[in-house]
Amino acid sequence: MKSSLSFSLLASFSCLVISCGAPSAAENNNSQSAEIPVKLLPLNGQMNANPAIAVSGQFTTDDEVLLSFKTGGIIQRILVKEGDAVKKGQLLAVLNPTEINAQVQQAQLGFEKAQRDHRRVENLYKDSVATLEQLQNAKTALDMAAEQLKTAQFNRSHSQIQATESGYILRKLASEGQLVQPGTPVLETNGAQSGNWMLRVNVSNKEWAAINLQDKATVEVEAVPGKVFQGVVSRKSEGVQPQSGSFTADIKLTGEKPSAIAFGMFGKAVIKPVIVASANGQGPWAIPYDALLEGDGSTGYVYVTNDNKTAHKVAVTIAGMEADKVIISKGLQEAASLITSGSAYLTEGSIITVK
């Protein structure tokens, strides 16, 4: 009887051991099913963004022309006012002609004398009185006098300013009776076409360095409230403007043009600088809002992965916010991919599967 009881207890214990071992296989199955599905955003070589830059400036066109006299002198008349419409070839301003006319007359007399000298030497050469060298020198003097006359006549033709294209007078930069040097701007004009409007804005040193050509921008016109226009950065100044002491950038309107716009009108813009991450992935990075778990001031946390199998939680530095992006300046240098979906279910070291 005792032997039978012992055998019964041994059998029960064996069943218990076997049953206790069974969860081990189940745990393996559960472990496999515990892989958390996520979505990834590769970080290396992606297009990344700097924080948006708010700027303001005045509207102008890309066909501005500064008109000046080739020669210096006293301005006798300026025949137009700011805002006047002008046609190509129209006379806009003239210098006092007294001095330039005297120069032309002097050149004319010099040319006539050179002609007489050349004819005289030529006749003497035919009579074998003058040498060939003397004839050649007389011919050279005649040619030089002819060129001097052409130069004086050319300068006289440019002692007046004519419109190079049909358009408008933007600014008068000098006045009648003023003494101007050669090349001094007297009038500023632009073309009659309104298809090339742009906003010229002042930017700081730091902003200038962050902006690149073809960066996109949104533009608001004070005369058209509540409407936003699209543009791109078409030009960056290569030096500081003496008048403002700052750099400038031009934002060319690319889409719909404002219905009411004029030269000098005030406008505002938001430039969205875009750069390509360097080969070593040094950022900055523009990541989706959903990828950021939590934040405290300029510090936040995200999940990343380097092998597409294991999730790691890292701290990042927040540089700014966009409409649908968070700008990260540091923290993602060593990461291959950012986890953008499924982060709420992750902990450090979680096993993931890419969906």
What is the tens place of the pLDDT at every residue in 271-298?
988 654 444 556 678 788 888 888 777 8
- pLDDT of residue 251 exceeding 90, the answer is yes
> pLDDT-based confidence at 8, cuts 50/70/90?
very low
Region(s) of the chain under CATH 2.40.30.170: 53-63+193-272
CATH of domain 37-49+280-354: 2.40.420.20
Residue whose tokens read 């010229």: 200
Domain 53-63+193-272 has CATH 3.30.420.10: no
Give the sheet arrangement for strand 160-162, strand by strand: 160-162, 91-95, 73-78, 179-180
- Alpha carbon dihedral 275, 281, 287, 290, in 10-degree steps, equals 170
- Per the CB < 8 A criterion, the answer to whether 261 and 223 are in contact is yes
Q: What is the distance between the alpha carbons of residues 217 and 45, in angstroms, rounded to a whole number? A: 23
What is the tens place of the pLDDT at every residue in 343-355?
888 999 999 998 8
- Per the CB < 8 A criterion, the answer to whether 327 and 321 are in contact is yes
pLDDT at 41: 86
- pLDDT of residue 145 exceeding 70, the answer is yes
- pLDDT of residue 32 exceeding 70, the answer is no
Q: What is the distance between the alpha carbons of residues 224 and 232, in angstroms, rounded to a whole number? A: 19
What is the tens place of the pLDDT at every residue in 291-313?
888 877 788 999 999 999 999 99
Q: Mean per-residue pLDDT for 249-255? A: 89
Q: Mean per-residue pLDDT for 224-243? A: 85
pLDDT at 175: 92
Can you give the pTM of this predicted structure? 0.50
Region(s) of the chain under CATH 2.40.420.20: 37-49+280-354
Q: What is the distance between the alpha carbons of residues 11 and 31, in angstroms, rounded to a whole number? A: 31
Q: Thinking of the domain 98-158, which architecture would CATH place it in?
A: Orthogonal Bundle (1.10)
pLDDT at 326: 81
**Rounded alpha-carbon distances, angstroms, from residue 297 to 48, 68, 303, 330:** 22, 56, 19, 14
> pLDDT-based confidence at 342, cuts 50/70/90?
confident
Q: Helix, strand, or coil here: 216?
A: strand
> pLDDT-based confidence at 6, cuts 50/70/90?
very low
Provide the terminal-to-terminal Cα distance of the chain, rounded to the nearest Å. 63
Q: Mean per-residue pLDDT for 13-29? A: 42
- Per the CB < 8 A criterion, the answer to whether 275 and 319 are in contact is no
Regarding predicted confidence, which is higher, 40 or 193? Answer: 40
- Per the CB < 8 A criterion, the answer to whether 125 and 132 are in contact is yes
